[in-house]
C-alpha cells in the first residue's frame, strides 16, 4: 500500500478521502456500495476474490472481480447482512499457483474474511484449497472445472471429497470434455483429430476426458503434442501434427496460446477447426488469431439468453465497469451471493467472529436459490447440480452459441 500525503493552502469543508493504491485492496465499489439507512455499526466484513487481474487471462479475472463487487454492492444496498458492511478484497493470483497461495495466505490471516470467490485456474485452486481449509474459509469457484478438486484423484471410480470448504458453481471437465467430443465427432463429423495441450492441470484433464469419448464415438486420435504456456511460435508443433493429416485439432488449454496457434496453423496451410474448452471462450481468443469455424465449449447457457441473468446483465452495465463480465461473471455473481446468504444466516441475531466460518460452510452446503445462471445448489462433493454446457462457434468474428445441453442429456 502506498500512503499519500496531501498538502493544501486552504482547508476545504468536508472530509478528504485518501485513496490507497496497490495490487491488493479493499474496495467499496462504484457509488459507495452502501445504503445510509442500513445499520453497519458492527463493522466491515470481507469477501475475498482470488483471480488473475493482470497478464494474459486478466479479461476473465476482471469479470470475476467486478461481478463479485456488484453482488456485494447490492447486498449493502439491501442491508443483507444485518449490522455489517461488506467489502471486496481482490487478490491478483497472476494465474500462477505460487502467487495464488500467497494470496490465500494473506486473506486467511484476516479474521474479517468470511469467504473467497475464486479461483479461475484449477492449478491455482490446488494450492489455495489447503490454505483456506486451514482457517475454515469457504471457497466457491466460478470457473474451476477439473473434477479432482471436489472428488479427488480417483473421481471416476472412487470419488472422495478432500476439502469440505470448497465448492463450485460450474460443470466439470468429465462432462465438458465428452460434450465437446460428441459435438466434434458426431455433429461436425471429424474423425481424425490431433490433440494439443499446454501441460497444465486444466488443459491436460480436459483433453484426457475429450480423448476417451472421441475414441468411444469412433474417432481416431491422429497424434498428440504439447506446447508451453508461454510459447508464441508454434511452427514446431504444427509441423509435428501435419503429417497425420488431422481434420480437426482439440486444444487443452487457454486462449493466450490457442488463438495464435489457430492463426499460425491456417497460415501454414493447415486450415482445420481448432476446438477447446471454456479456457478459450473469450473474445480475446478471436483477437489473438482464432478463425472462422473454430469451436469451444463453455459452462452454462449463454448468459445473455437467460431470463434469470437479465437483471445481472442490466445491473452490471449500469455500474459502468470498464471490463466485460466475460465467461464467468454471472457465475461469480452467483458464487458471491451464496456466500452472502450463508453469512447473513450465520450472524443472524449475533456477532461475527472467525469461529462463525464453520456455520458459513454448513449454510453454503445447504444453499439453494435461483441465480443469474439458473438453479444454484451443491451436491455432497461441493459440485454444482447445474450441468448445462454450450458449444460456441466463431462466426462473423464473434462467438455464437450453436448447441446447449448436458452430456448424456
What are 109-157's pLDDT values in tens digits? 999 999 999 999 999 999 999 999 999 999 999 999 999 999 999 999 9
Alpha-carbon distance values, 13 to 10, 18, 267, 327, 397 (Å): 10, 15, 64, 45, 53
Identify the pLDDT of residue 409: 58
In order of their start, the domains of the chain are: 25-171+305-377 (3.40.50.2300), 173-299+389-405 (3.40.50.2300)
Identify the pLDDT of residue 9: 34
Reported as a pLDDT band with limits 50, 70 and 90, residue 8 is very low
Identify the pLDDT of residue 36: 57
The string of pLDDT tens digits covering residues 59-83 is 999 999 999 999 999 999 999 999 9
Q: Which one is predicted more confidently, 6 or 146?
A: 146
Answer yes or no: is pLDDT of 17 > 70.
Answer: no
Identify the pLDDT of residue 229: 85
Average the pLDDT over 214-241 and give the result. Answer: 96
**CA 325 to CA 313: how far, in whole Å?**
8
Exposure string (b/e) for 48-68, b if CB count within 10 Å is 16 or more? Answer: bbbbbbeebbbbbbbbbbbbb
Q: What is the mean pLDDT of the chain?
A: 92
3-class secondary structure for 23-86? CCEEECCHHHCCCCCCCCCCEEEEEEEEECCCCCCHHHHHHHHHHHHHHHHHHHHCCCCCCEEE
Average the pLDDT over 351-366 and give the result. Answer: 98
**CA 214 to CA 185: how far, in whole Å?**
7
Amino acid at each position: 500500500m502506498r500512503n499519500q500525503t496531501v498538502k493544501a493552502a486552504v482547508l476545504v469543508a468536508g472530509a478528504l478521502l485518501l485513496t490507497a493504491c496497490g495490487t491488493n485492496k479493499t474496495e467499496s465499489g462504484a457509488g459507495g456500495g452502501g445504503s445510509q439507512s442500513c445499520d453497519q455499526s458492527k463493522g466491515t466484513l470481507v469477501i475475498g476474490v482470488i483471480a488473475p487481474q493482470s497478464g494474459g487471462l486478466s479479461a476473465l479475472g476482471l469479470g470475476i472481480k467486478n461481478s463479485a463487487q456488484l453482488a456485494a454492492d447490492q447486498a449493502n444496498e439491501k442491508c443483507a447482512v444485518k449490522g455489517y458492511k461488506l467489502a471486496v478484497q481482490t487478490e491478483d493470483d497472476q494465474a500462477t499457483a505460487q502467487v495464488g497461495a500467497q494470496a490465500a495466505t494473506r486473506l486467511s490471516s484476516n479474521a474479517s474474511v468470511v469467504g473467497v470467490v475464486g479461483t479461475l485456474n484449477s492449478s491455482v485452486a490446488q494450492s489455495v484449497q489447503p490454505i483456506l481449509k486451514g482457517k475454515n474459509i469457504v471457497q466457491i469457484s466460478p470457473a474451476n472445472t477439473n473434477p479432482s478438486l471436489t472428488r479427488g484423484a480417483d473421481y471416476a471410480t472412487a470419488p472422495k471429497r478432500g476439502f469440505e470448504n470448497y465448492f463450485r458453481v460450474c460443470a466439470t471437465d468429465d462432462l465438458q470434455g465428452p460434450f465437446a467430443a460428441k459435438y466434434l465427432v458426431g455433429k461436425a463429423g471429424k474423425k481424425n483429430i490431433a490433440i494439443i495441450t499446454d501441460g497444465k492441470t486444466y488443459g491436460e484433464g480436459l483433453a484426457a476426458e475429450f480423448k476417451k469419448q472421441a475414441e468411444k464415438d469412433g474417432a481416431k486420435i491422429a497424434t498428440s503434442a504439447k506446447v508451453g504456456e508461454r510459447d508464441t511460435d508454434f511452427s514446431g508443433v504444427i509441423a509435428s501434427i501435419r503429417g497425420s493429416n488431422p481434420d480437426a485439432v482439440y486444444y487443452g488449454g487457454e486462449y493466450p496460446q490457442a488463438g495464435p496457434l489457430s492463426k499460425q496453423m491456417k497460415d501454414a496451410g493447415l486450415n482445420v477447426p481448432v476446438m477447446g474448452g471454456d479456457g478459450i471462450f473469450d473474445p480475446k481468443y478471436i483477437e489473438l488469431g482464432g478463425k472462422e469455424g473454430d469451436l469451444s465449449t463453455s459452462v452454462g447457457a449463454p448468459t445473455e439468453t437467460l431470463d434469470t441473468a437479465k437483471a445481472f446483465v442490466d445491473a452490471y452495465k449500469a455500474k459502468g465497469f470498464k471490463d466485460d463480465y466475460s465467461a464467468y461473471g454471472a457465475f461469480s455473481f452467483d458464487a458471491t451471493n451464496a456466500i452472502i446468504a450463508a453469512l447473513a444466516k450465520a450472524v443472524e441475531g449475533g456477532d461475527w467472529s472467525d469461529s462463525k466460518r464453520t456455520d458459513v460452510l454448513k449454510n453454503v452446503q445447504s444453499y439453494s436459490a435461483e441465480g443469474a445462471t439458473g438453479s444454484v445448489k451443491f451436491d455432497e462433493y461441493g459440485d454444482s447440480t447445474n450441468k448445462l454446457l454450450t458449444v460456441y462457434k466463431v462466426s462473423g468474428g464473434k462467438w455464437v452459441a450453436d448447441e446447449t445441453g448436458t452430456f448424456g442429456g
